[in-house]
Amino acid sequence: MKLVKYLANLGYGTRRDVTEIVDHGLVTRRDGSIVRDGDTFEHSDLLINGTPCDPSPGAVLALHKPTGFVCSAKETSRLIYELLPSRLLARSPIMAPVGRLDRDTSGLLLLTDDGKLNHRLTSPRAHLPKVYVAELASDLRGDVGAIFASGTLLLNGETVPLRAASLEPVDRRRVHVTLYEGRYHQVRRMFAAVGNHVVSLRRQSIGGLDLGDLEVGRWRELSLAEVAALLP
Ligand code: URA
């Protein structure tokens, strides 16, 4: 793909805007040579106005979502895109979240502009384990682990039982829950179904990728090896 179209797709502006940037010699390689439309280039070598180019097409980002932010513009709250370079929202295709976290849930959220990969990661067939850390309003009852693991728990208003999920108590009011599917407000509704209430919820990992030391509100691009390790 030619440079102007490539950068326009990455959200650097309309083709006219980008043509201007390119014509002014503001797109360079790391060795300082200017890149013109029609030249060959390597994404990782590109500097725009002296700054490395945004993540390449097909990139996967990990965001440590804070509470108070939502994943969809259909909801009325601050959007997760406030935490990312604004160009990512102007991309074609858009850098979309992989599944969702609700407004009051923090933790690991993946984003990608690769629609097929997004679909593969969210497909129930992927059986991708997601680990949540929940704080509970009341002490954990002894039978809850077995109920979650049974594969028969029916959430309010649903007709298909939940897949078996595993529960690991940390203490009486703190648990790790591993899910293999992602239904609306699933963890909160699971605890509501057993008479408890989730006070705080954080997604700690997805398919073996842990939040690690990624600070709240920060994001990073995953390496190819990390992306490959996400999918079985
Ligand atoms: N379960 C919830 O209740 N909320 C989320 O955001 C994810 C899982």
Would the pLDDT of 216 be above 80? yes
186 CB near ligand 1 (under 6 Å): yes
What would the two tokens of residue 4 be? Answer: 């102007």
185 CB near ligand 1 (under 6 Å): yes
Give the residue-averaged pLDDT of 164-168.
98
106 CB near ligand 1 (under 6 Å): no
* Residue whose token pair is 């959200």: 11
Q: Each residue of 191-204: pLDDT tens digit?
A: 999 999 999 999 99
For atom 6 of ligand 1, the residue with the nearest CA is 101
**Distance, CA of 15 to chain centre:** 29
Provide long-range contacts, Cβ within 8 A and 24+ apart, for 38-44.
38/2, 38/3, 39/3, 41/3
- State the pairing for strand pair 130-136/78-79: unpaired
Work out the mean pLDDT of the chain and round it to a whole number.
95
What is the C-alpha end-to-end distance of the chain, expressed in Å?
31
Q: Each residue of 103-122: pLDDT tens digit?
A: 999 999 999 999 999 999 99
The pTM is what? 0.93
Q: How confident is the model at residue 232 (pLDDT cuts 50, 70, 90)?
A: low
User: What does each C-alpha distance from 8 to 5, 16, 49, 170, 191 come to in angstroms?
Assistant: 5, 9, 15, 49, 46
